[in-house]
Structure 1
């Protein structure tokens, strides 16, 4: 067996952990590039607390705001703007968009060049040859797990696709996870980001590159998401549910960094590249169909013995009452996940302008994605189109 383990050099988790942002940054450097999400108010609350913490340590900092999902051109422009500042540490505060932007800028500042020099699928795919500027990742959503991954997902609107920068240079130096920062997330964001975390744990668990240690973390994340995502969606003041989802998101990031993903994220990347659809909504809407098709292929003999056994373990998570044969319980998983998604009131793909005419192009793009390579069974274009059609 050959494997490589990727995770932040340090993880600090707990309510109140974000109060130490200034001290943690000062341990690394004196000039801080502070990249924050535009979804948070620029004054007051979390952003103002971060500014005060940096100032209290006497740190020099430059702020940059990220609105929406990061795009290739915007990351190149931001990197050029902040290069003269020569940051010694980059603080990424927000959801996956802000943290992925922080990681991308960290890699580009150290490695030079532009995004397309390093971007997978549509770029030149060069590896980063130098360690990136140290990143402190502070998530304010519970979903992407970007605080623990070695990639940064960027969109190219010109080409209508999402792709990743990837490599050890992008792994955060510190993941500072404070579940209290997620307490005020609105229900729709709680649902979409939480489904991303759930999908990442599930896909990592079934991925071709899964290992026993990623399986253990993925199952822990799945158990927490299965019991707590709906309660957190219904009542954001349930702190135990918020804490569970923050753990699930962190574990999902560690798992995807080490095991990979699958067709759910391949389809979500294609959808997000062409339509203004939140990543977690895309994942949630195609997840039941992908799982059903994977299981159908497994039952027909398209996978080894390990993966179907894992599906039975998933049935214990989502269908705790053991009824029917093993095949019956496996086949019921897709329906159970579909009902789970409906409880979270996600909009369907058609709400974002996706039509039947778009499906072949989307399926073809998904088939070229890096994520789909780790799917436990091969899904052809016709099958991918069927999954998308069911989510319209």
Structure 2
């Protein structure tokens, strides 16, 4: 059954939802979309089917997929050129977090012609997002970032590798087609890494220091859905498990408008410096980040433990659960197993302290804390 949720973006959720795309475009007088995706998804059969189905209904389709695994500003500029060179009238982001980030940043770039990073939210650049933007549609193919329901894009500088955040309510998709069937063919590693990304979003959002009980309730339900479905989605997937993961992922992205924390600030530098998959970086770091946050927040960890159905409702039990979950879905416990070396630690610590996520962590994090956490996880 396909359901409609509005939160605030309209979401068409359920197996087969993507089949509604062509009619939606026609109903909105759109005939020339630019599909923005990544190089892997661009070559998959379902993407080709989506594009062919649109063409059969008289819709002109262009696919742009020249993007990095961890997006940089030049990706956005190339997408902007493709949009104008082929005279497009709308943008469809299809894929995981990287594709969604680039698609959303292109949406911004089309009618905002200053340097892209002038619009960096961390320096108040959102006030310059004043012009209209193209019609924007999102179609997730992973259950990780939840970017399909977001209003921000994370893009790194090509040279410094520092991540910038582009933000505006104008960057919300007009509609999301969330079809769990599109996630069924994901390989186990991608399912595991993106699933742990979604779990990290929900856990960090619940712990983030800003008071937002609505987001906290959503985060706890997201944790529960992922707890009951991630392992099955990785090892023996079915539509029910994939559906719960897709919902849990979107709930994490809705919840983290409350903020994120230390785990994301540990993970972002791994992606920008070493090109580590973002979900994998979060997965390896989350037990250590949760251990760091426990003292002083025992009540919140008690609620997380209860949501995870743990016998002992303690922070220590939550950390043990995370290590055990990583083991069950073949995520390594150590940074050295994903290419980090001791000579990287100082640079990683510099990037982490400059990252935008940790100011919302429930407790302050210093550069020395980041260095100690990296060394502990190494």
Whether the TM-score (by the shorter chain) exceeds 0.5 is yes
- Counterpart for residue 366 of structure 2: 380
TM-score of the two chains, using structure 1 as the length reference: 0.88
- Counterpart for residue 308 of structure 2: 318
- Give the deviation of 1:310 after TM superposition: 2.1
RMSD: 2.2
Partner deviation per Cα, 1:336-366 (whole Å, 9 max, x = no partner): 2122222221244224432222223212321
- Paired residue secondary structure (2:219): helix
- Counterpart for residue 277 of structure 1: 276
Partner deviation per Cα, 1:159-184 (whole Å, 9 max, x = no partner): 12322211112211111100110111
- Counterpart for residue 57 of structure 1: 57
- Give the deviation of 1:7 after TM superposition: 4.8
- Give the deviation of 1:90 after TM superposition: 0.6
**Quick check: 2:202–2:255 contact (8 Å CA) kept in 1?**
yes
How far, CA to CA, are the matches of 1:125 and 1:136 in structure 2?
21
Matching of residues 156-175 of structure 1 within 5 Å: 156-175=157-176
- Counterpart for residue 262 of structure 2: 263
Task: Identify if the C-alpha distance between structure 1 residues 125 and 369 changes in structure 2 by more than 3 Å, giving closer, same or farther.
Answer: farther
How far, CA to CA, are the matches of 2:373 and 2:26 in structure 1?
49
- Counterpart for residue 346 of structure 1: 331
How far, CA to CA, are the matches of 1:127 and 1:352 in structure 2?
39
- Paired residue secondary structure (1:91): strand
How far, CA to CA, are the matches of 2:55 and 2:70 in structure 1?
28
Aligned match of 1:337 in 322, 325, 350?
Answer: 322
- Counterpart for residue 357 of structure 1: 343
- Paired residue secondary structure (2:143): coil
- Paired residue secondary structure (1:90): strand
- Paired residue secondary structure (2:163): strand
- Give the deviation of 1:278 after TM superposition: 0.3
- Counterpart for residue 390 of structure 1: 376
How far, CA to CA, are the matches of 1:75 and 1:267 in structure 2?
25
- Counterpart for residue 205 of structure 1: 206
Task: Identify if the C-alpha distance between structure 1 residues 361 and 145 changes in structure 2 by more than 3 Å, giving closer, same or farther.
Answer: same
Structure 1, gaps ≥5 residues long: 1-5, 299-306
**Quick check: 2:9–2:149 contact (8 Å CA) kept in 1?**
no
- Paired residue secondary structure (2:176): strand
**Which one is further off, 260-269 or 64-73?**
64-73
- Counterpart for residue 3 of structure 2: none
- Paired residue secondary structure (2:41): coil
How far, CA to CA, are the matches of 1:356 and 1:42 in structure 2?
37
- Give the deviation of 1:226 after TM superposition: 1.1
- Give the deviation of 1:224 after TM superposition: 0.8
- Give the deviation of 1:42 after TM superposition: 2.9
